[in-house]
Amino acid sequence: MADKPPRRPRAETPKGFRDYFGAEVTDRKAMLDRIAAVYHRYGFDPLETSAVETVEALGKFLPDVDRPNEGVFAWADEDEGWLALRYDLTAPLARVAAQYRNDLPSPYRRYAMGPVWRNEKPGPGRFRQFYQCDADTVGSGSVAADAEICAMLADALEAVGIERGDYVVKVNNRKVLNGVMEVAGLAGEGKDTERGIVLRAIDKIDRLGPEGVRALLGEGRKDESGDFTKGAGLSAEQAAVVMGFTTAKRDTGAATVARLRDLVGSSVVGAEGADELEAIASLLEAQGYGPDRIVLDPGVVRGLGYYTGPVYEAELTFQITDEKGRPRNFGSVAGGGRYDGLVKRFTGQDVPATGVSIGVDRLLAALRAKGRRTGEAAGPVVVTVMDRDRMADYMGMVGELRQAGIRAEVYLGNPKNFGNQLKYADKRASPVAVIQGGNEAASGTVILKDLILGAKIAESATLEEWKDRPAQVEVPRADLVAEVKRMLGQ
Amino acid sequence: MADKPPRRPRAETPKGFRDYFGAEVTDRKAMLDRIAAVYHRYGFDPLETSAVETVEALGKFLPDVDRPNEGVFAWADEDEGWLALRYDLTAPLARVAAQYRNDLPSPYRRYAMGPVWRNEKPGPGRFRQFYQCDADTVGSGSVAADAEICAMLADALEAVGIERGDYVVKVNNRKVLNGVMEVAGLAGEGKDTERGIVLRAIDKIDRLGPEGVRALLGEGRKDESGDFTKGAGLSAEQAAVVMGFTTAKRDTGAATVARLRDLVGSSVVGAEGADELEAIASLLEAQGYGPDRIVLDPGVVRGLGYYTGPVYEAELTFQITDEKGRPRNFGSVAGGGRYDGLVKRFTGQDVPATGVSIGVDRLLAALRAKGRRTGEAAGPVVVTVMDRDRMADYMGMVGELRQAGIRAEVYLGNPKNFGNQLKYADKRASPVAVIQGGNEAASGTVILKDLILGAKIAESATLEEWKDRPAQVEVPRADLVAEVKRMLGQ
């Protein structure tokens, strides 16, 4: 029996992980750079924590109430106990805010951008490594901090290319909901279970719709699979008060606040929530952020179960076509709010914080849907190799082009088959190929092939329209840079 | 006995990991952005692979012969078997080159920048997560690819702020060493052990010095701890040939090549190596890269044991003061070379590749030593809060400043103690504080405090020199932006 060759490793990413090539990298980078410039102008400082944390510092759970059991990637370290990859950028912020509490300015405004990891079952479009982009203000209880983040979010969306009118930042407040619960008779210690059910139900309104939520406020709800979820057992009147909260939006901020004041009646916390919303609206007004950009909208309920005060969400209002060809609103691309106890796990002290997270992949998809690609995707000018012995000449050409700021390459594969060189230029999305054979070299010229025009001619039935613009010109070698610039429209 | 409170988690990074704040993030980013712009101009495309790979795809070893046993961070995944964090950017490139071999252009020029992880004992300045910055050309056996990377490296160093004259890229070739070994009678299958010892010895010349290497070429070497390492057992003549290789540099590239031709005599591979060096020098000359930037230097031996053809290293030639106050050359900041078998593990095929890795932290340290900080480190203008009820006014001011492109913040902490606000501004390295109390508001003015000047006055004994420039001015509210710009020198 002959020896078997050793089995070769498979060249594959693990399931749920992927690679990003070329413009996928630069488009995202360009978008994040623009967001970072806005955050910088607002006085936020960048923070880059390590990807690896102790499991102890990280905590073993995600903050989102919907998925408390989602896992992290963790392993036992010889010296340090259990280590894990961060699952978001908030848990590391909590650790940093505690670890450096004597050194950091207070309040501490920071932004963070980078990959996070989730040990979840991968699915279509659902990856186990993805980017997050967060901004938080730690150590300020003032609603001015919330208002500031809403304004910054609006500015960031415009900075990346979402036009005014194509987005709206909606603001709500958990305290108003607490007031509404008081009115509905759900306050007090004995009502923990009911309040929990109401919070979880409200938080799922996007998925279940108003009918589903109303069912969960009452007797309960049977889902498609037939499973029954027990409801909060609220009376019709109680449920109406809670549901009234989610539909309290009126034409103006003032009218919305008035409606909320009606709903929360004499509840102290509810009135506080309404005051906060009013204050946020007036602070934003003072900076020129009108309701065309930021609105009070009690219909925003996502995260109300998690946050403790103001909650905000950025929605893109333009329509896209879904996979079935139906138009629908693009929807949410960012969300956040105020939360207590960021560092309490570490220090025992309550530190107020408020912050926003932009959905990097969703916002990128929105920019693509709008035809805004911000990264540099231009292919290089390709200098072909007709004569292997004159490589120094070709590298001289490419050097001149690069000196002039033009992206350019010399073909570095086997030059024998010229067709392969043009195929290569095509794969590189090259706009111009430079060709110099023996004849051209002797007469001191180069041939420039307009590959974009060439591709158009190949596609087009009416050659007529191109006849005035030759797809190929022979120019003096000395004019190489100037002529390439002209062809590139520079 | 009272209940004990639950033990709180420690707010600490795991040992060997660290956080990066503010300018530490932006300085590095600005440097990498400039390098990326050069790589882009050379036609290199960005590639961002996932941090996590299968252990199988990654291979279990580092390519550096000096440390074959360094570990990775690995864990068992439910579905995917063993996963691990990448330990460099070359192993993922190998996997990508194999996985997408039918889709990628060939040759494939790519650059990659990002963190890598090493499961090593941490030490001072030695971290378990750090940045790498690589550029490689896969699929070209031409020395033009090596020459191109040397030129690109020189351009990248100048782009980040290392001036011409302060660096040199040195080029050597493993094939010349192979020829030298033939001449020394170390060719052939029976001499594997000796060749291995010679390669490892040569590779350590930086650490052991010429004496140490010579000892390892002969009988062997006893280190400081008394441990004896057996040598290759070369005769004095044999050792002289090998050592002659490392000192073959002459005044001109041509003279160096001539000297190498002498050394390798009739060795075919040695002559090939000398030819390659000559070709690289002439290709670079054609692009205007003279010996003030890139030189042939057979004294560059680091990595010769790993690479298979041309080897290159960028050295910074300016002097810094070491921890004992002695001047020394800054030294190497980047290195690379040609290697075979990048994807052979996966596909069984040899694919030639050549590439460079820039030491991100070392190059950053060099820029700092040169006083070149490229990130935006400027602190924000701080608008203080004299009257809590007029927060909308203060946010209006900060909004105007930001609109004008000025980095600005309103103080969001408890405004009661004004001293705390100025301490905060100090901690933020703020250049200007804006103050508007009731009197100023009534008279339609604001006070601008020049904090940089203030700090200088506080330091300086001779107040005289500052008397013409007041550290504080009262200006009309309407002139806020213009006056702040003036103070910032904009």
Domains of chain A: 23-183+234-369 (3.30.930.10), 381-487 (3.40.50.800)
Select from B86, B278, B287 the residue whose CB has the most chain A CBs within 10 Å, as the one to mutate to test that interface: B287
The pLDDT tens digits of the residues spanning A75-109 come to 888 778 899 999 999 999 999 999 999 999 999 99
CA distance A221 to chain B (A): 34
CB B215 within 8 A of CB B243: no
How many A-B residue pairs are in contact by the CB < 8 A criterion?
274
At A67 the pLDDT is 40
Chain B residue numbers with beta carbons less than 8 Å from the beta carbon of A422 are none
The answer to whether the CB atoms of B413 and A140 lie below 8 A apart is yes
Report which secondary-structure segment, H or E, holds B485: helix B480-487
The runs of H, that is alpha helices, within A335-388 are 344-347, 360-369
Report the Cα A212 to chain-centroid distance in Å.
29
Residue of chain B whose Cα is closest to the Cα of A17: B50
CB B255 within 8 A of CB B281: no
The answer to whether the CB atoms of B48 and A107 lie below 8 A apart is no
Largest CA distance in chain A: 96
At A469 the pLDDT is 59
At B66 the pLDDT is 41
Select from A18, A38, A40, A41 the residue whose CB has the most chain B CBs within 10 Å, as the one to mutate to test that interface: A41
Separation CA A182–CA A185 (nearest Å): 5
Residue of chain A whose Cα is closest to the Cα of B12: A99
Q: Could you tell me if A412 lies within 8 Å of chain B, comparing CB atoms?
A: yes
Across chain A, mean pLDDT equals 89
The pLDDT tens digits of the residues spanning A358-396 come to 999 999 999 998 887 655 568 999 999 999 999 999 999
The pLDDT tens digits of the residues spanning A238-269 come to 899 999 998 899 999 999 999 999 999 899 99
Report which secondary-structure segment, H or E, holds B110: strand B108-117
The answer to whether the CB atoms of A83 and B42 lie below 8 A apart is no
CA distance B374 to chain A (A): 15
The pLDDT tens digits of the residues spanning A18-63 come to 999 999 999 999 999 999 999 999 999 999 999 999 988 988 554 4
Decide: helix, strand or coil at residue B357: strand
A6 pLDDT exceeds 80? no
Q: Could you tell me if B327 lies within 8 Å of chain A, comparing CB atoms?
A: no
Q: Could you tell me if B204 lies within 8 Å of chain A, comparing CB atoms?
A: no
CB B356 within 8 A of CB B312: yes
- Helices A174-183, A192-203: crossing angle, 10 deg rounding: 130
Q: Could you tell me if B250 lies within 8 Å of chain A, comparing CB atoms?
A: no
The answer to whether the CB atoms of B109 and A409 lie below 8 A apart is yes
Q: Could you tell me if B346 lies within 8 Å of chain A, comparing CB atoms?
A: yes
Q: Can you tell me the mean pLDDT for A354-361?
A: 95
Q: Could you tell me if B59 lies within 8 Å of chain A, comparing CB atoms?
A: yes
Decide: helix, strand or coil at residue B14: coil
Tokens for A394? 């070709």
Instruction: For residue B424, give the nearest of A346, A291, A109 by alpha carbon.
Output: A109
Tokens for A464? 């007529």
Percentage of residues in chain A having pLDDT higher than 90 = 66
Q: What pTM does this model have?
A: 0.91
At B130 the pLDDT is 95
Percentage of residues in chain A having pLDDT higher than 70 = 92
The answer to whether the CB atoms of B11 and A99 lie below 8 A apart is yes
At B124 the pLDDT is 82
Separation CA B235–CA B219 (nearest Å): 9
The phi, psi pair for A450, rounded to 5°, reads -80, 100
Chain A residue numbers with beta carbons less than 8 Å from the beta carbon of B75 are 73-75
Select from B19, B77, B401 the residue whose CB has the most chain A CBs within 10 Å, as the one to mutate to test that interface: B19
Select from A21, A338, A376, A389 the residue whose CB has the most chain B CBs within 10 Å, as the one to mutate to test that interface: A21
Which residues in A301-375 belong to E strands, given as ranges? 310-321, 327-339, 353-358
Residue of chain A whose Cα is closest to the Cα of B77: A73
The pLDDT tens digits of the residues spanning A445-489 come to 999 999 887 766 666 655 555 555 568 899 999 999 999 999 998
Q: Could you tell me if B11 lies within 8 Å of chain A, comparing CB atoms?
A: yes
CB A398 within 8 A of CB A409: yes
Tokens for B253? 């590239």
ipTM of this complex prediction, to 2 decimal places:
0.90
Name the band, by pLDDT with cuts 50, 70 and 90, for residue A69.
Answer: very low
How many residues are recorded in chain A? 490
The answer to whether the CB atoms of B43 and A286 lie below 8 A apart is no
CB B151 within 8 A of CB B39: no
Instruction: For residue B264, give the nearest of B280, B248, B283, B284 by alpha carbon.
Output: B248
Report the Cα B118 to chain-centroid distance in Å.
16
Cis, bond preceding B107 (omega within 30 deg of 0)? yes
The answer to whether the CB atoms of B396 and A10 lie below 8 A apart is no
The answer to whether the CB atoms of B144 and A395 lie below 8 A apart is yes
CA distance A324 to chain B (A): 30
At A366 the pLDDT is 92
Decide: helix, strand or coil at residue B28: helix
Instruction: For residue B280, give the nearest of B149, B179, B178 by alpha carbon.
Output: B149
At A3 the pLDDT is 60
At A68 the pLDDT is 37
Select from B48, B278, B390 the residue whose CB has the most chain A CBs within 10 Å, as the one to mutate to test that interface: B48
At B64 the pLDDT is 45
Decide: helix, strand or coil at residue B53: strand
Chain B residue numbers with beta carbons less than 8 Å from the beta carbon of A347 are 8, 11
- Chain B, 358 to 387: residues with Cβ < 8 Å from chain A are 376, 380
**Per-residue confidence in pLDDT tens, chain B, 490 aa:** 456 666 789 999 999 999 999 999 999 999 999 999 999 999 999 999 999 999 889 885 544 434 434 588 998 887 788 999 999 999 999 999 999 999 999 999 999 999 999 998 888 878 999 999 999 999 999 999 999 999 999 999 999 999 999 999 999 999 999 999 999 888 888 888 888 888 888 888 878 888 899 999 999 998 888 888 889 899 999 899 999 998 899 999 999 999 999 999 899 999 999 999 999 999 999 889 999 999 999 988 888 878 999 999 999 999 888 778 888 889 999 999 999 888 898 999 999 999 999 999 999 999 998 887 655 568 999 999 999 999 999 999 999 999 999 999 999 999 999 999 999 999 999 999 999 999 999 999 999 999 887 766 666 655 555 555 568 899 999 999 999 999 998 8
The answer to whether the CB atoms of B42 and A409 lie below 8 A apart is yes
Instruction: For residue B91, give the nearest of B130, B121, B52, B145 by alpha carbon.
Output: B52
Q: Is A120 exposed, middle or buried (0-12, 13-18, 19+ CB in 10 A)?
A: middle
The runs of H, that is alpha helices, within B129-191 are 143-160, 174-183
The answer to whether the CB atoms of B49 and A19 lie below 8 A apart is yes
Q: Could you tell me if A343 lies within 8 Å of chain B, comparing CB atoms?
A: yes
CB B69 within 8 A of CB A4: no
The answer to whether the CB atoms of B395 and A148 lie below 8 A apart is yes
